[in-house]
Amino acid sequence: MINSGSNVQTKLETIEKLATKPVFSWLVMTLVFGFFFISSCLPENLSGKTLVAASLGAVDLKDAITINDISSVVDDMDIIKAPNLPDQGLFYVVYKVVKGDTISEIASRYGVSTDSIVTFNDISNARALSIGKYLKIPTINGILYKAKDGDTAAALAESHSISRERIMEINGIGNEALQNGIMVFLPDARLSSWVLREISGDLFSWPIRGYITSWYGWRNDPFTSSRSFHTGIDIGAARGTPIKAAMEGTVSATGYSTVSGNYVVIRHHSGYSSMYAHLDRIDVKAGARVSQASVIGIVGSTGYSTGPHLHFTVSKNGITMNPMTVLH
């Protein structure tokens, strides 16, 4: 049986301890804090309306906002919606070429294609890019195009597989025939792979492995020592070394002359042609279709020659050019 007297005595001792000043102060502070905490969690009802529950189903959402609340909600949405920035259109930034730069690296840095930089700066030979040159870098990917007679936005869009609407919008034109010679920007258009090969200087591969014995341009004639213009490069190699077509094309002529000895001429795309001279033997006939690296003959020393080598000439529209600018 529990002693009730002792229980009473224990309760009295507990009350006396709680009545001490530090403990009493702690209890009062706790009660005050609890009161303010609970009060801050209660929503204010200043308008006298019935408060909407915090949890609403999709079906009840229409009941959560009254007609009087719509204007305030719209105002709040205006605050967070994306700004309506004006379309600044096409423009370009200027970049100064430094040592080690290439067009492809610059294009990658600015997020555009090499085609864009090439056409905006009228570059015909990427290897001629010089330190200190200023380049225009467009802010939109695409190419500059010189209009021809009969061109329209629709025709250009179809031929380049791009949007007619974008051509019209960026250039501020309709679908009427364009004036011959005006420059038109074609967004997202690309140059043909052939044009890019020509500009980058990657048209021709080396027809043989060897060493240069004479460069393109003026030189002293090896027999007479008089100044004469050398129309190609001479590549020294052992007699009998296989000679390969430097680029795909059609053999337009083969034969022999006192100057060139046994020779082969190949006609290529876009007005290019190449000649291979002083051959010991010719292995193709006129009219034959050759691919790049097809064997067309072997190295010799026929004609006007001081020893076994290949005289290699490149022409564009009948005019010789330095082969080194197009060899890779």
Give residue-wise pLDDT tens across range 72-89.
Answer: 433 443 333 444 444 456
Task: Please tell me the predicted confidence (pLDDT) of residue 17.
Answer: 53
Phi, psi (5° rounding) for residue 288? -70, 140
Give residue-wise pLDDT tens across range 136-175.
Answer: 999 999 999 999 999 999 999 999 999 999 999 999 999 8
Task: Please tell me the predicted confidence (pLDDT) of residue 201.
Answer: 82
The answer to whether 104 and 180 are in contact (CB under 8 A) is: no
Tokens 């049986």 — which residue? 1
Task: Please tell me the predicted confidence (pLDDT) of residue 325.
Answer: 87
Task: Please tell me the predicted confidence (pLDDT) of residue 48.
Answer: 41
The answer to whether 221 and 227 are in contact (CB under 8 A) is: yes
Task: Please tell me the predicted confidence (pLDDT) of residue 197.
Answer: 87
Phi, psi (5° rounding) for residue 305? -145, 145
Fill in the amino acid letter for 4: S
pTM: 0.60
Task: Please tell me the predicted confidence (pLDDT) of residue 294.
Answer: 95
The answer to whether 199 and 170 are in contact (CB under 8 A) is: no
Task: Please tell me the predicted confidence (pLDDT) of residue 53.
Answer: 36
The residues of the chain scoring below 50 in pLDDT are: 1-5, 8, 11-12, 41-87
Assigned token pair, 66: 């009254």
b/e sequence 135-173, b meaning 16+ C-beta within 10 Å = bbbbeebbbbbebeeebbbeebbeebebeeebbbebbeb
DSSP state letters, 2-38? --HHHHHHHHHHHHHHHTSHHHHHHHHHHHHHHHHHH
Fill in the amino acid letter for 272: Y
Domains in the chain (CATH in brackets) are: 92-198 (3.10.350.10), 211-325 (2.70.70.10)
The contacts of residue 175 (CB under 8 Å, 6+ apart) are 152, 153, 154, 164, 168
- Cα separation, 45 vs 123, in Å, equals 73
